[in-house]
Amino acid sequence: MEWETNQREEIAAGIWKYYQEKIDIAPENALVLIEQELHDQYNRSGNDWTGRGVVINTLIASTISTLESVRVACLEKIEEKKSHPE
């Protein structure tokens, strides 16, 4: 269980680090990238007819979970920009 927790935290940190600056600079563009990646990860999640095992399932589930959170943050940033235009 500790390994899984560590992997989830590491994956989440990497994804947030990758997208944070993109969201701050151009959230609309970041949203496109995030939604494309989510689409790919959901497809990857569904393509498990041969069985992947705990390692890859943890990677995919963590990636999807974090991307959903990043997507929410991105949408909030877009709304913030709309309500407080520069």
pLDDT tens by residue, 33-51: 999 999 999 999 888 777 7
- Residue-wise pLDDT tens digits, 49-75: 777 888 888 899 999 999 999 999 999
> What is the percent of the chain where pLDDT is above 90?
71
Q: Cα Rg for the chain, rounded, in angstroms?
A: 15
Rounded-to-integer distance, Cα 74 and Cα 28, Å:
8
Mean pLDDT, rounded, of the chain: 92
What pLDDT is attached to residue 86?
A: 65
* pTM for the structure as a whole: 0.89
What pLDDT is attached to residue 31?
A: 98
**pLDDT for 29 beyond 70:** yes
CB 58 within 8 A of CB 10: no
Question: What's 23's DSSP letter?
Answer: H
HEC letters along 25-77: HCHHHHHHHHHHHHHHHHHHHHCCCCCCCHHHHHHHHHHHHHHHHHHHHHHHH
